[in-house]
Amino acid sequence: MKIALAQINYHIGNFESNTSKIITALEKARAAGADLVVFAELAVSGYPPRDFLEFDDFIERCLLSVEQVAAHCKGIAAIIGSPSRRADIKGKNLHNSALFLADGKVKAMAHKSLLPNYDIFDEYRYFEPFREFEVIEYKGKRIALTICEDIWDIGEDPLYTINPMDELIKQSPDLMINIAASPFHYEQARTRKEVILTNVRKYNLPLFYVNHVGAQTELLFDGGSLAASPRGFVFDELNYFDEDLRIFELEEVINASPKQDANPLGILTDKTVLIHDALVMGIRNYFGKLGFTKAILGLSGGIDSAVTMVLAARALGSENVRAVLLPSAFSSEHSVNDAVELAANLGSPYDLISIENAFDSLDETLQPVFGDLPFDIAEENIQARIRGVILMAMSNKFGHILLNTSNKSEAAVGYSTLYGDMNGGISVLGDVYKTEVFRLARYINKDEELIPEHSITKPPSAELRPDQKDTDSLPEYDILDEILFQYIEKRKGPKELVAMGFEKPIVDRILKMVNTSEYKRFQTPPILRVSSKAFGMGRRMPIVARYLS
Q: Which of 148, 436, 492, 520 is the catalytic position?
A: 148
Per annotation, catalytic residue among 2, 62, 73, 112: 112
Q: Kindly report the pTM of this predicted structure.
A: 0.96
DSSP string covering 244-282: EEEEEEHHHHHH--PPTT--TT-----HHHHHHHHHHHH
Span 201-206, average pLDDT = 98
Whether the per-residue pLDDT at 261 is higher than 90: the answer is no
Helices (H), 414-503: 434-444, 453-457, 477-488, 494-499
CATH of 274-470 among 3.40.50.620, 1.10.3720.10, 2.60.40.10, 3.10.20.30 = 3.40.50.620
Q: In whole angstroms, how large is the CA radius of gyration of the chain? A: 26
CA-nearest of 226, 164, 181 to 81 is: 181
pLDDT value of residue 463: 72
Average pLDDT on 359-383 reads 95
Q: What is the pLDDT of residues 395-432, one digit of tens each?
A: 999 999 999 999 999 999 999 999 999 999 999 999 99
H/E segment holding residue 188: helix 188-203
For residue range 278-323, list pLDDT tens digits in order.
999 999 999 999 999 999 999 999 999 999 999 999 999 999 999 9
Q: Which residues, in sequence order, are CB contacts of 503 under 8 Å at separation 6+?
A: none
Q: What's residue 210's pLDDT?
A: 98
Is residue 105 annotated as part of the catalytic site, yes or no? no
pLDDT band of residue 260 (cuts 50, 70, 90) is confident
Angstrom CA distances, 412 to 122, 309, 388, 518, stand at: 24, 22, 20, 8
Q: Please report the pLDDT score of residue 263 as a whole number.
A: 92
Residues 41, 128, 149, 341: which is the catalytic one? 41
Instruction: Choose which CATH entry (3.40.50.1820, 3.40.50.620, 3.60.110.10, 3.40.50.300) describes domain 2-268.
Output: 3.60.110.10
Q: Where do the structural domains in the chain lie, given as residue ranges?
A: 2-268, 274-470
pLDDT value, residue 155? 84
Render pLDDT for 452-501 as a digit per residue (tens, 0 to 9): 999 999 887 777 778 778 788 888 999 999 999 999 999 999 999 999 99
Question: Angle 455-461-464 (CA atoms, 0-180°, nearest 5)?
Answer: 130
Can you tell me the distance from the alpha carbon of 465 to that of 378, in angstroms, rounded to the nearest whole number?
Answer: 11
**Does a cis peptide bond (omega within 30 degrees of 0) precede residue 48?**
yes
pLDDT tens digits for 101-148?
999 999 999 999 999 999 999 999 999 999 999 999 999 999 999 999
Structure confidence at residue 330 as a pLDDT band (50, 70, 90):
confident
Backbone angles phi, psi at 396, to 5 degrees: -65, -45
Whether 112 is catalytic is yes
What is the per-residue pLDDT across 520-544, written as a single tens digit (0 to 9) for each?
999 999 999 999 999 999 999 999 9
pLDDT band for 378, please (50, 70, 90 cuts). very high
Q: Give me the chain's average pLDDT, please.
A: 96
* Confidence category of residue 262, pLDDT binned at 50, 70, 90: confident
Known catalytic residue at 495: no
